[in-house]
Amino acid sequence: MIEVQAMKTVYFVRHAKSSWQDMSLPDHDRPLNKRGKRDAPYMAEQMLTMELRADLMLTSSARRARATARFFRKSQDLPKERLLVDKRLYHASIETVLQVIQELPDDLHVIYLFAHNPGLTYIANHFSTKMIDNVPTTGIIKVVSQSVQWINFDPNSAVMKAFYYPKMFNLR
């Protein structure tokens, strides 16, 4: 019997809209605002409706990214230990994000990665032939690799397959 191995998929999720109400807070500690608390669970449910489930979720250590990731984790009923915080993802470069992904164990196939702009817009354009000006808050980029190993997840093996964002679901 031949075992068929699955390709690798990453859903890059920009954190939901954050609050600037308390200007004394460091950027890293800003919470979600009212719109962010509305959009994050809504987008999480949209992904669930499309049956786009994760094996693992990785998030930046920033408060707004962790809060966004928790909405997605809960909507998918993913165990808490399947949501990992990686400090390297806070305002990470493309190279750092790829390094984090390429270190993943190959028995995982679908990853959600929660991070920030401008990095996620750069990543979207890194894997796409169409120019994206901006990945909005709670925007999601789906990138699929034909490789069965994470070490090979790069623009030579992977391409952007979808771009989801709140306004496309009439959420304003």
Where are the chain's structural domains?
Answer: 8-169
Contacts of 22-29 with C-beta under 8 Å, sequence gap 24+, read 27/62, 28/61, 28/62, 28/63, 28/90, 29/62, 29/63
pLDDT of residue 172: 65
pTM for the structure as a whole: 0.94
Q: Quick one: 8-169 is in which CATH superfamily?
A: Phosphoglycerate mutase-like (3.40.50.1240)
DSSP for 116-148, written as a single string: -TTHHHHHHHHS-SS--S---TT-EEEEEES-S
pLDDT of residue 70: 98
Q: What stretches of 55-139 adopt beta strand conformation (E)?
A: 56-59, 83-85, 110-115
pLDDT of residue 3: 47
User: How many C-beta neighbours within 10 Å does residue 140 have?
Assistant: 24
14 in Cβ contact with 33 (< 8 Å)? no
pLDDT of residue 169: 84
Q: Which mean pLDDT values do the consecutive 10-residue runs of the chain (172 residues) have?
A: 71 97 92 96 93 94 98 97 98 96 97 97 95 96 96 95 92 66
Give the CA distances from residue 113 to residues 21, 59, 61, 87, 170, in Å, rounded to whole numbers and listed in that order: 26, 6, 12, 12, 24
